[in-house]
Chains A and B, each alone.
Chain A
Amino acid sequence: MAELLQLVITGLAVGTVYALIALGFVVVWKSSSVANLALGQLVLFSSWFTYGMLVQAKFPLWLAFPVVILFALALGWLIERLALRPLIAQPILSLITVTLGVAYFIEGVVTFIWPWSVAALPRLFPIEPLHIGTAVVSQAYIWVAGICLIVFGLLTLFFRYHKMGIAMRATADDQMAVQACGIPVTRIFSCSWMFACIVAAIGGVLISSIGGITHGLVETGLKAFSVVILGGLNSFVGAVVAGPIIGLAENLGGGYLTPFIWAGVKDIIPFIIIIIVMLIKPYGLFGEVRIERI
């Protein structure tokens, strides 16, 4: 029983981080119909950059985090400007392939600048374990989940009240109407990419504070895909709901199925969920069904 509770809590916590990263994907998809396949590598790059700031350049915490946010903004702007702006009206396959190319490019750059395969961030959260009921949970998980929920709240406020947030929602709804209103759509694309990079950065820092910086961060980005697929590509609510579900499934599956199948089942569960979702309900829980007109 204790084990179940522990798995549930850690699963939900990690799941909220997946949901955060998935939000970045959904924003880019909704506003410009571009599938950001570079998500995992963005998470990786931001985490390594945080490591560089905190450990190599020895910035204090209060200085490092704004720098990381600025870095994520710059990265998002660069990617959108250099890789995606020239391809605005091209078929969707070209755009997906370009993000794939950007992904591998970033991976190469990361290996070039930081040639180590693992690294640890300095301790960001207190480590005494909490006792919730009968479960013993490291405090880091609770902090991570809490920070994610705060970020969700901030994002909701941003999208509801801030001018740029409203503009992004409008572009996601109907690009042509937005252009008719005089809002430069290319600026909205830039903003959505910058936003995706920021949430990837925050998500990356949170995950690496739990598990260290390894190449597994790329897989975390891919698990964000499964969150997006489960929740529906078009839906913010879907991403937020599906994230904890995937985190839960991953942890429970890993905890209970490992004796039966080979170890490491945990890694593969999100992908199996993708295939199952594709076969049963391709548009996900909350996605809007694409009605194909001839």
Chain B
Amino acid sequence: MAILRTKTHWALFIIFLALLFAAPLYLGNYWLGVANLIGITLIAATGLNILIGYCGQLSIGHAGFIAVGAYTSAVLTNRLELPFLVGLICAGFTAGLIGLIFGIPSVRVKGFYLAITTIAAQFIIIWVINHWSAVTGGFVGIKVPYASIGGFVFRSEASQFYLIISIAVLATFLAKNLARTRVGRAFIAIRDNDLAAEVMGINLFYYKLLAFFIGCFLAGIAGSHSPTGLAL
């Protein structure tokens, strides 16, 4: 079942994309800033939607993973002077790995207990960030240079808007597509009744951890777009 089925779908979609990408023409700087925030939150929320909405793992500690992404990207672009795209991908993977580690309890506990575990995870992550001053600058933070791809520096709100919105559109498309694949259907099966899913042969351990990885990967990508090291 395709995502865009009828000609009306396609037409509306193209019109929407056109309006979206033409936004800097009619939005002022302030609203572009707001739109950037919306875009960042959208990417993180898409990750969370995959985790909670599709796979049913209650995770309320997402802010911690966003912070991991933000700080990874900041450290890589600031301290090690790596290009922004490398920082972006590494931020995603680091957040995904940390999410994987804190997602291990999801194999043992469900529902409210998992929610409490993720709250605890968020506090532990933020505490480590605040205290590991050698790497993360402790409570003061790290100054992050503007994103730049191949020499083009994203200095204005409008250019950042394009970057963030493109990634947001991509992330939404990826998430929507995920639901149609085997992995997505496994997630939905786990959400609906995980014992039945296991009986059907879906490897719960693998798929739950995969859900955590994907959700936190997107959170890391969202985080790497966040501005200078703030304590989230």
Chain A positions within 8 Å of B, measured between CB atoms, are 35, 92-93, 96, 100, 219, 222, 225-226, 229, 233, 262-264, 267-268, 271-272, 274-275, 278-279, 282, 292, 294
State whether A271 touches B124 (Cβ < 8 A).
yes
Task: Indicate if B196 sits at the interface (CB-CB under 8 A).
Answer: yes
B170 proximal to A (CB < 8 A): no
Q: A274, B109: Cβ atoms under 8 Å?
A: no
Is the CB of B195 closer than 8 A to any CB of chain A? yes
How far does the alpha carbon of A268 sit from the alpha carbon of B113 in the complex, in Å? 18
Q: How far is the CA of A233 from the CA of B109 in the complex (A)?
A: 13
Given A100-B60, A294-B196, A274-B112 contact (CB < 8 Å)? no
- A278 with B109: CB separation less than 8 A: yes
- Of the candidates B58, B111, B116, B195, the one whose C-beta lies within 8 Å of that of A294 is B195
Task: Please state if A275 and B120 are interface contacts (CB–CB under 8 Å).
Answer: yes
Question: Judging by beta carbons under 8 Å apart, are A264 and B131 in contact?
Answer: yes
- Give bound CA distance, A272 to B128, whole Å: 12
Any A CB within 8 A of the CB of B132:
yes
Flag whether B85 is at the interface (Cβ < 8 A). no
Contacts of B124 in A (CB 8 A): 268, 271-272, 275
Cross-chain contact B123 with A282 (CB below 8 angstroms): no
Given contacts A35-B112, A294-B196, contact A275 B105 (CB under 8 A): yes
Taken together as a complex, chains A and B put the C-alpha atoms of A279 and B193 apart, in Å, by 22
Interface positions, chain B 96-126, Cβ under 8 Å from A, are 102, 104-105, 108-109, 111-113, 115-117, 119-121, 123-124
The contact of A92 among B111, B116, B196, by CB within 8 Å, is: B111
- At the interface, yes or no: B127 with Cβ under 8 Å from chain A? yes
Chain B residues contacting A226 (CB-CB under 8 Å) are 120
Q: Is there contact, CB below 8 Å, between B58 and A229?
A: no
Number of interface residues of B (CB under 8 A): 25
Q: Which residue of B lies closest to A263 (CB)?
A: B131
Judge whether B119 and A225 touch: CB under 8 Å.
Answer: yes
Chain A nearest Cβ from B87, distance in angstroms: 25
29 contacts between A and B (CB under 8 A): A35-B112, A35-B115, A96-B58, A96-B60, A96-B112, A100-B60, A222-B119, A222-B123, A225-B119, A225-B120, A229-B113, A233-B112, A262-B131, A263-B131, A264-B131, A268-B123, A268-B127, A271-B120, A271-B121, A272-B120, A275-B117, A275-B124, A278-B108, A279-B104, A279-B108, A282-B105, A282-B108, A292-B195, A294-B195
Give the total number of A-B pairs whose CB atoms are below 8 A apart.
Answer: 65
Closest to A93 in B: B58
- Give Cα distance in the complex from A267 to B112, angstroms: 23
Q: Using Cβ atoms and an 8 Å threshold, which residues of chain A touch B60?
A: 96, 100
Chain B, range 111-158, C-beta contacts under 8 Å to A: 111-113, 115-117, 119-121, 123-124, 127, 131-132
Distance between Cα atoms of A94 and B184 in the complex (Å): 24
- List residues of chain B with CB within 8 A of the CB of A263: 131
Contact of B127 among A35, A229, A267, A274 (CB under 8 A): A267
| Structural contact, A92 and B119, CB atoms closer than 8 A | no
Task: Choose among B115, B127, B132, B195 the residue that contacts A96 (Cβ–Cβ < 8 A).
Answer: B115
Given known contacts A222-B123, A271-B123, is B108 in contact with A92 (CB within 8 Å)? no
Point out which of A226, A229, A262 has the most chain B C-beta atoms below 10 A from its C-beta.
A262
Instruction: List residues of chain B with CB within 8 A of the CB of A264.
Output: 127, 131
* Complexed CA–CA distance, A225 and B123 (Å): 13
A82 to B58, CA, bound (A): 25
Bound CA span A264–B129, Å: 12
Q: Across chains A and B, which 10 residue pairs bring their CB atoms closest together, nearest first?
A: A271-B120, A274-B120, A262-B131, A278-B105, A282-B109, A268-B127, A278-B117, A271-B123, A271-B124, A35-B112
